[in-house]
Amino acid sequence: METMNELITAFPQNITDALAIAAKVNLTTPENPVHNIVVCGMGGSGIGGKLVAQWVQNECPVPVLSFQDYHLPAFVGKNTLVIGSSYSGNTEETLIAVEEAHGRGAHIIGVTSGGLLEKFCSEKGYDCVIVPGGNPPRTAVGFSIVQLTSILIKLNLADEKLLGEIESGRKLILAELDGIHAEAKKIAEFLRGKVPAVYAGANYEAVAVRAKQQFNENSKELCWQHVIPEMNHNELVGWGGGDDRFGALFLQTGDLTMRNQRRFDISVELVSARTKNVYIAHAKGNTQIERSLYLIHLVDWASLYLSDLKDGDPIEIRVIDYLKDEMSKL
Ligand code: F6R
């Protein structure tokens, strides 16, 4: 297995490889009109669905739900497109949700490197996009975001320009690589010995969740995330006592609406009055997708550098393996 350093380095190349895979995919047209979309996936596979749902929500004519559980909501039926995204293809929540979708007559598409999800799709005659396997699922986010976006484009549910924006995000990362590494090291130093709290505008919630997941899995740290404006209505009060155990990492994207930007600035001011541990990371890029990819790569590196500062093993996730093993005995 490659090192986490090599796997994070490969993110831009993964996007290129993923675009080549997507270009060759032919999809069956759904029998019924699609009235809603549910992307089922957990953890490192689920985050791709969360990201893409946010990227398409301003233009997609139907709602897109990123779903992380076994049993689907009641609205899922023959007018639902259900995408099962599981890197290993063996995640039980995703498999059970997809089987349930099959029972309700939904149009199903798999995204996986193989496993039981591929088997299920081939047995039942559903399209299944195969991505290269063998790595930790969280390092395959470049593959899932491209395949999910491409599926929605091919089914006329998203604009073709989105893949172009992913490609320009890839180029942006390569152009900004030195700056990304320098800032990621600073973020890791800042977070050393603290519990990170990641904040972003609501339209970047998936990016903040990605940051949390990477600090959890790569850095072995507890972490939480919240978004503006909702955090103004509750969490801000929680900073009231002032607390230096935590490090507030604000993701400044520069594209919030005027009122949300003002909320962001006031939130930084209020949190800064209660702790000295505030860091503002500025995204680069001209579109939401470019800025998201930039921030994803930045926090991926920050999570690895934080692990290095603690002499940790960024790859191992023994507790997840143990839990999956125990569950398989039921
Ligand atoms: C491991 C990771 C996990 C998995 C999750 C679901 O790197 O990030 O969050 O992604 O346990 O497994 P898959 O992705 O195989 O469906």
- pLDDT by residue (tens digit) across 251-307? 999 999 999 999 999 999 999 999 999 999 999 999 999 999 999 999 999 999 999
On whether the pTM is more than 0.85, the answer is yes
Please give the mean pLDDT across all residues of the chain.
97
Q: Is the Cβ–Cβ distance between 45 and 137 less than 8 Å?
A: yes
C-alpha span between 36 and 268 (Å, rounded): 37
* Residue 88 clears pLDDT 90, i.e. is over it: yes
For ligand 1, mutation pick of 91, 143, 210, 315 (most atoms within 8 Å of CB): 91
Question: Which residues is 109 bridged to in the sheet?
Answer: 83, 127
| Segment 180-231, tens digit of pLDDT | 999 999 999 999 999 999 999 999 999 999 999 999 999 999 999 999 999 9
| Segment 124-171, tens digit of pLDDT | 999 999 999 999 999 999 999 999 999 999 999 999 999 999 999 999
Q: Is the CB of 137 under 6 A from ligand 1?
A: yes
* Residue 173 clears pLDDT 90, i.e. is over it: yes
Q: Is the CB of 212 under 6 A from ligand 1?
A: no
**3-state DSSP helix/strand/coil percent for the chain, to nearest 5?**
55, 15, 30
* Residues that are catalytic: 217, 233, 324
* Residue 1 clears pLDDT 80, i.e. is over it: no
